[in-house]
Amino acid sequence: MNLKATIFGLLVFFTCGQIALAQSMEIEKEITELSKQKWQWMADKNADSLAVLFHDKAKFVHMGGTWGKDREVDIIRSGFIHYKKADVHEVMVEVLNETTVILWNQITLLAVVGDNEVTTPFMVTEVYVKQDDEWKLADLTFSKLMTRD
């Protein structure tokens, strides 16, 4: 193999790597912003926007149970759970491929559940899938963090 072919091969390799990295970073930013918007929609009880964001087969895992999209949207719309404010302390994103992303938020959630206002630390896992060129939330799992006072 001659030197020109080797250099050309290396240039192509590094260029493709840079393009893939840039695409991954762009997806990370897009999903991070979408997650942030989701928390605001939840605080605003904007069930219509959330219904568009949530995948039809989405699952929602809470301390009190697991259910699908329709029940989650109804719970938010009715105010049975009001996600008043999510203080996001840390965000981690893993782009698995061009159509699947996992995001983790470490949050302190101020919520009203029934008639009780509660503040709870959570690690929240969000799984996004791209469907028809739009990102959809396929899973939202709340894991309560055990913290020392």
Cα–Cα distance, 18 to 112 (Å, whole number): 45
Asked, for residue 102, whether it belongs to a domain, the answer is yes
Instruction: Give the domain CATH number at 38.
Output: 3.10.450.50
The count of domains in the chain is: 1
Query: In 10 A of CB 13, how many CB atoms?
Result: 10
DSSP letter, residue 133:
T
Asked, for residue 149, whether it belongs to a domain, the answer is no
Asked, for residue 29, whether it belongs to a domain, the answer is yes
Asked, for residue 78, whether it belongs to a domain, the answer is yes
Asked, for residue 114, whether it belongs to a domain, the answer is yes
Give this prediction's pTM: 0.83
Q: For 83-127, how does the pLDDT look when each residue is reduced to its tens digit (9 = 90+)?
A: 999 999 999 999 999 999 999 999 999 999 888 999 999 999 999
Asked, for residue 39, whether it belongs to a domain, the answer is yes
Asked, for residue 70, whether it belongs to a domain, the answer is yes
Q: Which of 62, 67, 78, 66 is nearest to 120 (CA)?
A: 62
State which residues form the domain around 73: 3-144
**DSSP-derived 3-state class of residue 16:** helix
Q: Which of 78, 85, 128 is nearest to 104 (CA)?
A: 128
pLDDT surpassing 70 at residue 30 = yes
**How far apart, in Å, are the Cα atoms of 88 and each of 12, 66, 80?**
40, 23, 22
Asked, for residue 24, whether it belongs to a domain, the answer is yes
Q: For 36-73, how does the pLDDT look when each residue is reduced to its tens digit (9 = 90+)?
A: 999 999 999 999 999 999 999 999 999 889 999 999 99
Q: Which of 77, 143, 131, 74 is nearest to 104 (CA)?
A: 143
